[in-house]
Amino acid sequence: MLVLGIESSCDDTAAAVLEIEASGRPVVRSSVVANQDRIHATYGGVVPELASREHILGILPSIEMALGEAACELRDISGIAVTRGPGLVGSLLVGLMCAKGLAQRINLPMVGVNHLEGHILAPMLEHTIAFPFLALVVSGGHTALYLVEDIGRYNRLGRTRDDAAGEAFDKVAKLMGLGYPGGKVIDQLSQRGNPKKLRLPRARVKHAPLDFSFSGIKTAVALHLQDNGASIAANDLAASFQEAVVDMLLRPTLEAAREHNVDTIALTGGVAANTRLRARLDEAARSEGRKLVAPSFKYCTDNAAMIALAGSYRLLRGERDSLGIDAEANLPL
Ligand code: KG4
Ligand code: ZN
């Protein structure tokens, strides 16, 4: 079965063709992502109106490219999976309306997918993972821990009370004048920096040991810059900040893994591309006899292959959503 995935929840226009083999194994035949970073960089963050306009321009070429790279045509597709939330409503609507149009024109089943379910299942694009497993979803919009009991059964164990981890990376990068989005730049700078140069606070949420909080660290960096200017080299400041974020992500994750005695921890979402987070979580998981599974970089950040995978389970069961479904900015999982 070939599934066409469509993703436009924020500032990436993405389309993918995913094959589900008879054995159930997913094979990504193509995954196209049209990135809008250049447009939003001028403003230091995503401008929703500009994002929607770019999606309108990019959605059909992305789908055509995905079909071309997969060497197939629309008539070879068995179903469409499209993100319907959470995200920016104007952005979501572009992908959803496009999916509806295609589904109606060629009478294909279409399912609406939760973007977070896409991130949670993204590691399964390349790895076979036994249930239950723990998923740490860390992106620009979300930071949460889920116990994944089965496909469709996601038990949220913890979440951020304020900023998402990626948001903290982006805000600190902005404070440091490193441009937008900043996660990757901070990661690269940190590789030549001393993580012990500046001691930053590691926040804990009172009475909620599996929750996260990242607003304090952003303020700590802002105050440091205000009081000390560039007294510390950018690579040392970046490394010190990154180390604190990694510590704050690791503690609840390891605690949840122990509490639920899972064999596997899946690390996913844009911040899962962070080299230090991957290395430290891998080492910590191993030392407790567990395994870390993380997608390749291209499936950490927003992509449509993960949306196709999340939708494929429902399509395989013969399910379809009505063409009346709507985009939902705060769609719960
Ligand atoms: O999953 P994603 O593409 O979009 C959302 O759903 O939010 O994640 C984007 C986020 C941005 O905040 C970006 O700065 C962060 O992922 N990011 C990173 C790295 N690469 C991307 N953060 C830290 N280290 C990285 N290497
Ligand atoms: Zn995302």
Which of 184, 189, 217, 275 to mutate for ligand 1's pocket (most ligand atoms within 8 Å of CB)? 184
Q: pTM of the full predicted structure? A: 0.95
Enclosing domain of residue 17: 2-121+301-316
Closest ligand 1 atom to 300 CA? 1
Which of 301, 307, 333 to mutate for ligand 1's pocket (most ligand atoms within 8 Å of CB)? 301
**Confidence at 331, pLDDT banded by 50, 70, 90:** very high
pLDDT of residue 279: 98
Asked if the model's pLDDT at residue 216 lies above 90, the reply is yes
Over residues 39-63, the mean pLDDT reads 90
Closest ligand 1 atom to 87 CA? 6
Question: Both 89 and 152 in a single domain?
Answer: no
The answer to whether residues 66 and 303 touch, using CB atoms and an 8 Å cutoff, is: no
Question: Both 96 and 170 in a single domain?
Answer: no
Question: Both 280 and 140 in a single domain?
Answer: yes
Question: Both 238 and 305 in a single domain?
Answer: no
Q: Which residues surround ligand 1 with Cβ inside 6 Å?
A: 10, 139-141, 166, 169-170, 181-184, 187, 269-271, 273-274, 301-302
Distances from the Cα of 303 to the Cαs of 125, 131, 150, 214, 293, in angstroms? 12, 24, 22, 25, 18
Question: Both 8 and 133 in a single domain?
Answer: no
Over residues 62-66, the mean pLDDT reads 98
Closest ligand 1 atom to 119 CA? 1
Mean pLDDT of the residues in the chain: 96
Q: What is the number of structural domains in the chain?
A: 2
Q: Is residue 208 part of a domain?
A: yes
Query: Residue 318: exposed, middle, or buried by beta-carbon count in 10 A (0-12, 13-18, 19+)?
Result: exposed
The bridge status of strand 264-268 relative to strand 143-150 is unpaired
Which of 169, 243, 296 to mutate for ligand 1's pocket (most ligand atoms within 8 Å of CB)? 169
Question: Both 111 and 176 in a single domain?
Answer: no
Lowest mean pLDDT among 15-19, 37-41, 223-227: 37-41
Q: Is residue 17 part of a domain?
A: yes
CATH number at residue 286: 3.30.420.40
d(C-alpha 2, C-alpha 129), whole Å: 22
Residue with token string 């194994």: 25
Higher pLDDT, 303 or 10: 303
pLDDT of residue 263: 97
Over residues 307-322, the mean pLDDT reads 97
Q: Is residue 322 part of a domain?
A: no
Tell me the CA–centroid distance for residue 26 and ligand 2, in Å: 20
User: Among 204, 209, 121, 114, which residue's Cα sits nearest to residue 157?
Assistant: 209
Ion ligand 2 residue ranges (Cβ < 5 Å)? 139, 302
d(C-alpha 327, C-alpha 319), whole Å: 19
177 backbone φψ class: left, alpha, beta (φ>0; ψ -120 to 50): left
Q: How long, in residues, is the chain?
A: 333
Tell me the CA–centroid distance for residue 45 and ligand 2, in Å: 15
Question: Both 97 and 26 in a single domain?
Answer: yes
